[in-house]
């Protein structure tokens, strides 16, 4: 089903590209601007012209899609789009200087407007009600702007916003709380606030967004995640990359619908991860925990997570994995599921089970490397024989799988024979 949806999406994009037809722009059109028809929509696109400092008067009144990239538009006011009532998409990005809004009536009357993107324009403030009374608005993008706060009535009477992108802003904690409470709309399905400093995700933070399905909050300086932050949401995917997380409440994602959990470079420890929050995420399909501080994986790490199909624990500090956390995962039979690259495995007798289990796993496992013991350091785990996985102590050396009987080393055999000699005398050995 997922592949079918992806195919349909790809086909749709291809269809739109091949159906686009260049048409002549009106006389007097600015340099760097092109006009095209996509089905019945007229698109005007202007790039790389710092002589464009406002919305040009030559733009046709029947324009549906308007895009400006790397120009020098500085001010938008109530007259900027007054004759462009058919607009459905406005994208003004990467202007060379700070973009400002003279008043809150800039977009009023654009009842067909469904997508507005103002990424990377150095916008420092927004007037009250700027995107209010836009019944068709579904996507609002304000990424990469130093916005410290959002006006309370920013989206008043614009109830259909589904995608809200606020990555790399300077929004304060109060604004983040209001977003989570649904103050800016309760129909938001996709929320991107990565790169915005948050530090703490308080209890029940996003419970005011019952339709939330995707959340990206990477590189937000988050060190604590409270309980039930996703309670009542439809969230299926969460990205927490690059946060220095010290503590996650064991009920943080309790009974959530999250199927994909990603937290790369989050400084997560084995204790916080495997003895806490994961156990209460029964719907998980994919876990991506690369570049954390994981040192071991307990036997019950994935208990009751039977839908897991991808477990990426690459590039951690995992020395040992107890036998066998993957045993009860019916969908884990390939290296697509079990990803353990770049970990300093201690390939002693406690890890012999993994060498045996690796025979049942399809895919390339040569990057599963041993950091110890010294006799096998630097070797690929799967290149070793079972009897090379040894635990040594002063009194004994045990090699291989314990359930198949330990292999006794040569010096251990000498020690046993010595004891026989002492107890029974040499003649007994040759009787």
In a domain, 75, yes or no: yes
C-alpha pair distances (Å), 257 with each of 163, 182, 233, 253, 284: 19, 19, 8, 9, 8
User: Any idea what the Cα angle at residue 50 is, between residues 46 and 52, rounded to 5°?
Assistant: 60
Q: What is the mean pLDDT of residues 422-431?
A: 46
β-sheet bridge partners, residue 90: 66, 116
User: Is the residue at 221 inside a domain?
Assistant: no
The partner residues of 44 in beta bridges, in order of sequence, read 35, 66
Is residue 99 one of the residues assigned to a domain?
yes
The mean pLDDT value for 60-84 works out to: 97
pLDDT band at 336 (very low <50, low <70, confident <90, very high): confident
Output the pLDDT for position 409: 44
Dist. CA 239–CA 261, nearest whole Å: 6
Residues 360-371, mean pLDDT to the nearest whole number? 91
Quick one: pLDDT at residue 416?
43
Supply the pLDDT for residue 415: 45
pLDDT at 410 over 90: no
Beta strands 214-216; 190-192: pairing state: parallel
For residue 41, give its domain range. Answer: 26-161
Q: Convert the pLDDT of each residue in 299-326 to its tens digit.
A: 999 998 989 999 999 999 999 999 999 9
Confidence of residue 396 (pLDDT cuts 50, 70, 90): confident
Give the residue from 119, 110, 114 showing the smallest Cα distance to 84: 110
Q: Is residue 142 part of a domain?
A: yes
Give the pLDDT band of residue 405 (cuts 50, 70, 90): very low
Say what the pLDDT of residue 19 is. 59
Domain count, the chain: 1
**Domain holding 95: CATH number?**
3.80.10.10
Does pLDDT of 328 surpass 50? yes
pTM for this prediction = 0.84
Q: State the DSSP string of 218-271.
A: -SS---EE-TTTTTT----EEE-TT----EE-TTTTTT----EEE-TT---BHH
Answer whether residue 172 is part of any domain: no
**Is residue 210 one of the residues assigned to a domain?**
no
Q: Mind listing the pLDDT tens digit for each residue in 87-110?
A: 999 999 999 999 999 999 999 999
What's the mean pLDDT in 23-37?
95
């Amino acid at each position: 089903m997922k592949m079918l949806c992806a195919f349909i999406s790809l086909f749709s994009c291809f269809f739109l590209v091949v159906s686009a037809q260049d048409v002549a722009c009106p006389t007097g059109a600015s340099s760097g601007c092109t006009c095209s028809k996509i089905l019945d929509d007229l698109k005007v696109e202007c790039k790389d012209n710092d002589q464009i400092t406002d919305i040009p008067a030559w733009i046709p009144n029947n324009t549906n899609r308007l895009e400006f990239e790397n120009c020098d538009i500085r001010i938008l006011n109530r007259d900027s789009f007054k004759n462009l009532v058919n607009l459905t998409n406005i994208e003004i990005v990467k202007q060379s200087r700070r973009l400002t809004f003279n008043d809150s009536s800039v977009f009023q009357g654009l009842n067909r407007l469904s997508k507005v993107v103002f990424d990377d324009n150095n916008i420092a403030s927004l007037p009250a009600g700027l995107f209010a009374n836009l019944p068709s608005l579904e996507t609002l993008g304000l990424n990469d702007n130093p916005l410290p706060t959002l006006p309370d009535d920013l989206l008043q009477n614009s109830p259909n916003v589904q995608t809200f992108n606020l990555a790399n802003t300077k929004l304060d904690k109060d604004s983040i709380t209001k977003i989570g409470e649904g103050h800016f709309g309760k129909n938001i399905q996709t929320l991107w606030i990565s790169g915005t400093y948050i530090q703490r995700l308080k209890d029940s933070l996003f419970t005011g967004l019952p339709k939330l399905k995707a959340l990206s909050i990477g590189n937000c300086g988050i060190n604590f995640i409270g309980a039930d932050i996703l309670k009542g949401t439809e969230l299926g995917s969460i990205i927490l990359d690059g946060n220095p997380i010290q503590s996650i409440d064991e009920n943080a994602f309790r009974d959530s619908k999250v199927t994909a959990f990603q937290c790369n470079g989050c400084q997560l420890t084995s204790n916080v991860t495997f003895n806490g929050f994961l156990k209460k995420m029964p719907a998980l399909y994919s876990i991506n925990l690369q570049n954390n501080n994981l040192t071991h994986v307990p036997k019950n790490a994935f208990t009751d997570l039977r839908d897991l199909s991808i477990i990426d624990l690459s590039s951690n500090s995992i020395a040992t994995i107890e036998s066998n956390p993957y045993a009860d995962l019916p969908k884990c039979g390939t290296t697509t599921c079990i990803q353990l690259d770049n970990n300093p495995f201690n390939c002693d007798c406690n890890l012999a089970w993994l060498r045996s289990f690796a025979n049942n796993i399809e895919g390339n496992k040569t990057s599963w490397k041993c950091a110890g013991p010294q006799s096998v350091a630097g070797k690929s785990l799967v290149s070793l024989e079972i009897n090379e996985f040894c635990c040594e102590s002063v009194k004994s050396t045990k090699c291989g799988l314990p359930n198949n009987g330990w292999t006794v080393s040569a010096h251990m055999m000498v020690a046993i024979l010595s004891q026989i000699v002492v107890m029974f005398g040499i003649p007994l050995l040759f009787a």
